[in-house]
Amino acid sequence: MSEGQIKKFMYINRKAPHGTVYALESLEVVLIAAAFDQDVSLAFMDDGVYQLKKGFNTKGIEVKNFQPTYRALDDYDIQKLYVEKEALAARGLTEEDMCVPVEVRTRAEIGQLMETQDVILSF
Amino acid sequence: MLHIVNKSPLDRNALDTCLATAQPGGAVLLIEDGVYAATTGTTAAARLTQAMGQVKIYALKPDLDARGMSDHVLQGVELVDYGGFVDLVAEHPVCQSWL
Amino acid sequence: MAIEVNGKQYDTDEEGYLTDLNEWNEDVAKVLAEQENVNLSEQHWEVINFLREYYNEFQIAPAVRVLTKAIGKKLGADKGNSQYLYELFPYGPAKQACKIAGLPKPTGCV
For chain C, what are the domain ranges?
2-100
CATH number, domain with residue B54: 3.40.1260.10
Residue C109's pLDDT is what? 58
How far apart (Å, rounded) are the C-alpha atoms in residues B47 and B50? 5
Residue A4's pLDDT is what? 73
**Residues from chain A contacting residue C107 (CB–CB below 8 Å):** 28, 31-32
Q: Dihedral through CA A119, CA B1, CA B7, CA B8, nearest 10?
A: 170
Alpha helices in chain A (DSSP H): 22-33, 67-70, 85-90, 107-115
Q: With beta carbons less than 8 A apart as the criterion, state whether A112 and A84 touch.
A: no
Who has greater pLDDT, A4 or C30?
C30
- Domain of B43 in residue numbering reads as 2-98
Per-residue pLDDT averaged across B80-88, rounded? 97
Q: Enter the ipTM.
A: 0.88
What rounded mean pLDDT belongs to chain B?
A: 96
Structural domains of chain B, count: 1
Q: Which of B26, B93, B97 sits opposite A122 (nearest CB)?
A: B97
Residue A109's pLDDT is what? 98
Nearest Cα neighbor of C62 from C95, C21, C13 is: C95
Q: What residues does each domain of chain A span?
A: 12-122
Who has greater pLDDT, B62 or C107?
B62
CATH topology for A12-122? Hypothetical Protein Ychn; Chain: A, (3.40.1260)
B52 CB neighbour count, 10 Å cutoff:
14
Q: Does B1 touch chain A (CB under 8 A)?
A: yes
Chains touching chain B at 3 or more Cβ pairs under 8 angstroms? A
* CATH match of C2-100 with 1.10.10.370: yes
Per-residue pLDDT averaged across C16-31, rounded? 95
Q: Report the residue of A114, A117, A121 to disrupt the B interface, i.e. the one with the largest count of B CBs within 10 Å.
A: A114
Quote the radius of gyration of chain C (alpha carbons, Å): 13
B41 CB neighbour count, 10 Å cutoff:
8
Q: With beta carbons less than 8 A apart as the criterion, state whether C28 and C22 touch.
A: no
Task: List chain A pLDDT tens, one digit each, 123 residues.
Answer: 556 789 999 999 999 999 899 999 999 999 999 988 899 999 999 999 999 999 999 989 888 899 999 999 999 999 999 999 999 999 999 999 999 999 999 999 999 999 999 999 999
How far apart (Å, rounded) are the C-alpha atoms in residues B61 and B68? 10
